[in-house]
A and B are shown apart, each in its own frame.
Chain A
């Protein structure tokens, strides 16, 4: 805009200067030519009257004075009789010259003719003498074009000067005009006090500003809603563009992928996780197909679900969901192991029963052996019943005891009962059992607590060495931070102990520390599992202490 104003100003100035110069020149020249003609008329009249008085001889005298005009005398037939500048004898016939012709016809003739160059011109005035001859006076002056070179030079100089001035002034002026426009506060267009011509533009701008602000607010609100929603999701969510750059990513996704980069937005998805399954899922989704993969990140299992995002037919990105399935995966693994174990534990006794029964049925067994076989079958069946009973107890615990009635239970009573019930085994193993403790009441389900106490004591006796001892204590203790009282039930034995790295596993179903002893010690492998569940249901805790060589102690803590 500034440039256009400048060019326009300069052009205008230049054109007006040139036009003015030309017009002035023309006017001045016109006056000059008229004056010359008048002078010539006067002079020619003078010469004519002089010639009339003193004859042609007068003309001779003119030629001698240097500043005199050129005078030519022409005869009636056009022949030149006399010329004070030229040799009359060699001059051509002048009858055809326009001024002569006019003079012959009208008495006076005038003409202006350019000389050899256009920069000079000659004024002619011819007058008819009384004797019919014609006297012509000629005067040569600069033509209208003569001053042109100088005039052009001067005009150019002026134009250059004007250009310079116009450039300076034009720049200043345009700057001053544009300055307030540049200073416009576009955030608040209506508050500007500039040119009235801009008012409609500004008011339109204000309307648009309002609309934009409104839309921005809406977008921001949506953004907040979106990020609140995604950030509070437990599942990780990633939005990718068609080149697998991260567009958006919630907090869970970063946590699940262990990505420490502060802001993955704009980077490649592979910077978050570069493992094969993740790459495959993303690749497939961007190829237009939904994909699902399992991903292991440190000790966690993640399910990756990637879905293409389409815009029309073209895939323009992908949504990747990450779900932590560690717990489910672990539980499934446990369940598989449990099923395998149950089948094994059940099939062994059943094989034995079937074997004995087959022998008896075939009649191979001798009569006196049959009672022994029957006893074996009975023993094995008892074991089966025990296993099935334990499995059922466990599955009841799995279902939860929310429905079971809770009542105050005195653990002292349960401990005494259990010691009584295990007396037979203890005597057989020659294990002595010592009990210290008094009445300690907890709130809970009597049958389940009984099973837990019984199992712990039973284990301590069964997995003891011959001649060993079991120490049972029951006490009420203040909790550390004054958080009330708890009942602590501890059973210590002098048995085979539990290796430290197996202490976690003894609570698993069917897990037994020493497989080689399994047959020696009757048991289902479910006892401690039942204990664990029972304690958990009563909000208690279990502690196992053993150095793995000799002796171990199991402590159950229940809130009183």
Chain B
């Protein structure tokens, strides 16, 4: 029976890696759809959202099953509860990537984005997510803490983009709509960064048992 338990625990880990990989792909596709104006990537991002949702439900069921049937303790319990929390963040990331893809469909051909540092921000958010998933995959405490610290970079980029957009609207009020869309996208990217930080915090918790006091 314990053997089966170990296997289910490992399945949980594998499924979570898969879900993380899909999130990475979703946000990368959304960014590509936005920056390179490739509609097939936008569609991919939207399609991935439902796949990510399916994974969330599946992993949720697995977590509950493990909790009730095996009544795990200590490290295993932490691993399962943190997995249960991580999938919520991942699901949100999937939603936001799909939202970005949808908004960027309206922005096709707009010149605003080339002037704004949105590409940098997308890159930073992707890097954060990818590192938080990495830290989860390998159980790398240092990497997880690195992600938590790098939250400021995305936050700073968001305020910078906000400033740039205000300037852009002042110069050319006709671009107002595009600018607001871009602000939304920037906000979504910033939220994705926050979710990546959350994931990293849960990784730290599952390894050390420490929860950030403020959270």
Contacts and interface: CB of A to CB of B under 8 A. Distances in A.
B138 A279 contact: no
A270 B10 CA distance: 12
Given A261-B138, A274-B133, A274-B137, A268 B21 contact: no
Nearest to B7: A243
A340 B17 CA distance: 42
B14 interface: yes
Nearest to B137: A271
Contact of B21 (A244, A261, A275): A275
Interface in A230-244: 243-244
A260 B20 CA distance: 18
B138 A270 contact: no
A424 interface: no
A270 B25 contact: no
A268 B133 contact: no
A287 to B, nearest CB: 15
Max chain B CB contacts within 10 Å: which of A261, A271, A274?
Answer: A274
Contacts of B137: 270-271, 274
B83 to A, nearest CB: 15
Nearest to A270: B17
Nearest to A259: B138
Interface string B106-143: 00000000000000000000000000010001100000
Contacts of B20: 274
B21 A279 contact: yes
Interface string A261-292: 10000001011001110010000000000000
A274 B133 CA distance: 10
Interface in A386-423: none
Interface string B54-67: 00000000000000
A268 B13 contact: yes
Contacts of A274: 17-18, 20-21, 24, 133, 137
A284 B156 CA distance: 44
Given A261-B138, A270-B137, A274-B137, A279 B13 contact: no
Contacts of B25: 275-276
B90 to A, nearest CB: 13
A260 B10 CA distance: 21
Q: Which size class do A's interface residues fall under? A: 10 to 19
A261 B21 CA distance: 18
A244 B11 CA distance: 11
Contacts of B24: 274
Q: Main SS of chain A's interface residues?
A: loop
Contacts of A260: 138
Interface string B13-29: 11001101110110000
Contacts of A271: 17, 137-138
A271 B20 CA distance: 11
A109 B137 CA distance: 108
A303 to B, nearest CB: 19
Contacts of B17: 268, 270-271, 274
B10 A268 contact: yes
B12 to A, nearest CB: 11
A279 B18 contact: yes
A243 B7 CA distance: 9
Contacts of A279: 18, 21
Contacts of B138: 260-261, 271
Interface string A35-71: 0000000000000000000000000000000000000
A404 B137 CA distance: 56
Nearest to A273: B21
Contacts of A270: 14, 17-18, 21, 137
Max chain B CB contacts within 10 Å: which of A243, A260, A261, A271?
Answer: A271
A231 B137 CA distance: 25
B119 to A, nearest CB: 15
A61 B210 CA distance: 110
A225 to B, nearest CB: 30
Contacts of A275: 21, 25
A244 B17 CA distance: 13
Interface in B128-180: 133, 137-138
A476 to B, nearest CB: 47
A255 B128 CA distance: 22
Nearest to B130: A274
B177 to A, nearest CB: 31
Contacts of B21: 270, 274-276, 279
A268 B17 CA distance: 10
A270 B20 CA distance: 11
A276 B44 CA distance: 13
A268 B7 CA distance: 12
B59 to A, nearest CB: 14
- 6 smallest beta-carbon distances between A and B, as pairs: A274-B21, A270-B17, A271-B137, A274-B17, A261-B138, A268-B14
Given A271-B137, A276-B21, A276-B22, 5 more contacts: A268-B14, A268-B17, A274-B17, A274-B18, A274-B137
Interface of A: 243-244, 260-261, 268, 270-271, 274-276, 279
Interface of B: 7, 10, 13-14, 17-18, 20-22, 24-25, 133, 137-138
8 contacts: A268-B13, A270-B17, A270-B18, A270-B21, A274-B17, A274-B20, A275-B21, A276-B22
